[in-house]
Structure 1
Amino acid sequence: MRILVLGGTGFIGPHLVEYALSRGHTLTLFNRGRTKPGLFPKAEQLIGDRNAPDGHAALAGRTWDVVFDLPATTPQWVVNAAAVLKGKVDQYVYVSSTAAYKDFARSFPDETHPTQDPAPITGPDAAAAPFGNKKVRCEQLVQEAFGNGATIVRPGLIVGPGDLTDRFTYWPVRIEKGGEVLAPGKLEDPAQWIDARDLAEWMVRMVESRTTGVFNAVGPRTVCGIGELLYGIKACYANDTRFTWVPESFLTEQKVRSWAEMPVWSYTGATTVAFCTTVVDKAVKAGLTFRPLATTVRDGMAWYHSRPAAEQEKLRAGISMEREREVLAAWHAKQSEGR
């Protein structure tokens, strides 16, 4: 197939491009040429700035079988891309987010769950609109322009090699250090994530089979408990890690939040629970598969240890070890008072 990738050099992009090339497809990458230039010498490179009024000019007069729109959060980008590509591609795959759903405190959203109000395309409120509202507007624009050729993919937390958010990475980094580890809530509290490679490879297989529609894309196959995640990571290390499970109520008192200081984790009633209980039956039926947790941990940590020392020292998510010790000390003190 002739595949156009808008982006292609960020987090998901390299995994998708590598997999598509390995399956014999012809790739064209369209981006500003600033991030990792020359990364894929076997792929055609087109330069353009999607923020510019004529930023998509390099695509004019060309045709492709499929386009993957990986980075777009700005609705105007989709408007401009559609103006050039409508009628020129058979399938347009837009990577959205489960943040598109309304009411994050409601558990188990499937693809029919109500979505946020769409953000404005232009005007003073467009740039300030929340992330999920922007994604909803982008989805609508893709569906309006490409109709039955539109594929909307709504991932949850994307993890693995290349992830700069550190939201998932916090846990293997902390567990690798060993000792007493603050573990949130109850073992069965929900947690979900998807390896970027599972997401990217599935999307390539989706276009090979001409599958269209709207799909949630997160994993594992069924909702995992935070205990299963943490003990699964612990099994990757032969050290003295031991978990101290602290109730959600105490963590709330200590201003330790789910999804922030305690990444990946959520609980019933939390404003983040939808992110950890997303229904993925439709995607699984369409061929979404999940590699073992140990593989994600091993490869993700190999990439993490290849990063600059300054990035390794200061994670962008999770709780600092100093603050962790404070919360654990307060919890132990409270337990002693109750004896």
Structure 2
Amino acid sequence: MRLLVLGGTGFVGGATVTEAVRRGWSVTVFNRGLHGSVPPGVHRLRGDRTAPDGLAALAGGEWDLVVDTWDGAPRAARDAARVLVDAVGHYVYVSSGSVYTDPAAPGLSEDSPVVDADPGAVDGDYPQLKSGAERAVREVFGDRALVARAGLILGPGEDIGRLPWWLRRVERGGDVLAPGPVDLPVQYVDVRDLAGWMLDAGARRLGGTFNATGRPGQTTMGELLDACVAATGADARLRWTDPATILAAGVLAWNDLPIWLPTGHPYRGLLERDVTRALAAGLTCRPVTETVDDTWRWLREVGTVPSRAGRPLHSSIGLDPAREAAVLAG
């Protein structure tokens, strides 16, 4: 298979390139060449898709499949799709569950309403950008397009820092504020499982839209944090604390305590997507222990979480130690 990845050096794009190389595919990446690196043997084309003639490097190429991780202006996604429509057999666009009109509603399926967006827009908020790009790709490629609406993505290479924050916090040891309940379900997808599924689906010429994340309740906060303790080998004591106590102290779910969204939280639905369609199309998810162990191994190798596509690390992720201690002292 001949694969073209638009992006290719970030979290999802990098995992997709790595998996394709592992399969022995011929891999080309197209990006500005300002961020990250690619494995040996990968052909790199440089260009800025937002600039005049910025797609010129793609001229004359032919590929079986393209995977596009773009999260900017929908017009740029449309322009790339138009350039590639006769050069690529199938188009996979990595979108987001944020496109839904109520992204936090539990049980959303691919047929749920999405935000109105213009495929020719040059700006907008994140849901509008992704929704507009979805429309742009579909308008050009039709049934030859697969839209993967990802949810929470974890695994090696994570450039948001959610699971890395928990691993570093557990590594410090001592009493760790563990947000209850211990059996609270968590829905996510390992980036390597997402990448592998997109390549499999693209190779099969599968079209349509899919909530591309793991099944609801594939793990729990207890299993996740126990895996962090086991992976780091730290002398950490998980102090499971009632959600009401944590929230009353002004601690923010998702941001201060990453990944955690308690039952009844306005955004709880982010971790309760309907993934019937994706599972039927072959999406599988590895055990949480494997995701945590491999993320810890990667984190120790790189030292710090990389910036996301050249942007600063999300500074609001994680709880300040003094605030944590105050809640525990409660």
TM-score after normalising by structure 2: 0.89
Amino acid of the structure 2 residue aligned with 1:95? V
User: What is residue 310 of structure 2 aligned with on the other side?
Assistant: none
Distance (Å, rounded) in 2 between the aligned partners of 1:10 and 1:310? 12
Residue 207 (1) aligns with residue 215 (2): no
SS in 2 for 1:242: strand
User: What is residue 20 of structure 2 aligned with on the other side?
Assistant: 20
Distance (Å, rounded) in 1 between the aligned partners of 2:216 and 2:104? 21
1:215: Cα distance to partner?
A: 1.1
Distance (Å, rounded) in 2 between the aligned partners of 1:192 and 1:74? 28
Distance (Å, rounded) in 1 between the aligned partners of 2:150 and 2:215? 12
* Unaligned runs of at least 5 residues, structure 1: 332-339
Deviations 1:16-43 (A, max 9, x none): 1122122232222111122235x33412
Residue 87 (1) aligns with residue 86 (2): yes
SS in 2 for 1:306: helix
User: What is residue 33 of structure 1 aligned with on the other side?
Assistant: 33
Is contact 1:193-1:264 (8 Å) kept?
no
1:242: Cα distance to partner?
A: 2.4
1:219: Cα distance to partner?
A: 2.2
Residue 149 (1) aligns with residue 148 (2): no
User: What is residue 130 of structure 1 aligned with on the other side?
Assistant: 125
Distance (Å, rounded) in 1 between the aligned partners of 2:216 and 2:264? 22
Report % sequence identity: 40
1:300: Cα distance to partner?
A: 0.9
Distance (Å, rounded) in 2 between the aligned partners of 1:17 and 1:50? 19
User: What is residue 179 of structure 1 aligned with on the other side?
Assistant: 174
Larger Rg: 1
Alignment CA distance shift 1:146-1:197 (3 Å): same
Alignment CA distance shift 1:58-1:283 (3 Å): same
User: What is residue 335 of structure 1 aligned with on the other side?
Assistant: none
Alignment CA distance shift 1:205-1:133 (3 Å): same
Distance (Å, rounded) in 2 between the aligned partners of 1:176 and 1:95? 33
Residue 60 (1) aligns with residue 59 (2): yes
Deviations 1:86-122 (A, max 9, x none): 2332211000011112213321212122212225743
Match of 2:219 among 219, 224, 228: 224
RMSD: 2.4
SS in 2 for 1:259: coil
Amino acid of the structure 2 residue aligned with 1:93? V
Distance (Å, rounded) in 1 between the aligned partners of 2:83 and 2:69? 17
Is contact 1:156-1:194 (8 Å) kept?
yes
1:290: Cα distance to partner?
A: 1.6
Distance (Å, rounded) in 1 between the aligned partners of 2:144 and 2:81? 12
1:237: Cα distance to partner?
A: 4.7
TM-score after normalising by structure 1: 0.87
Distance (Å, rounded) in 1 between the aligned partners of 2:180 and 2:276? 27
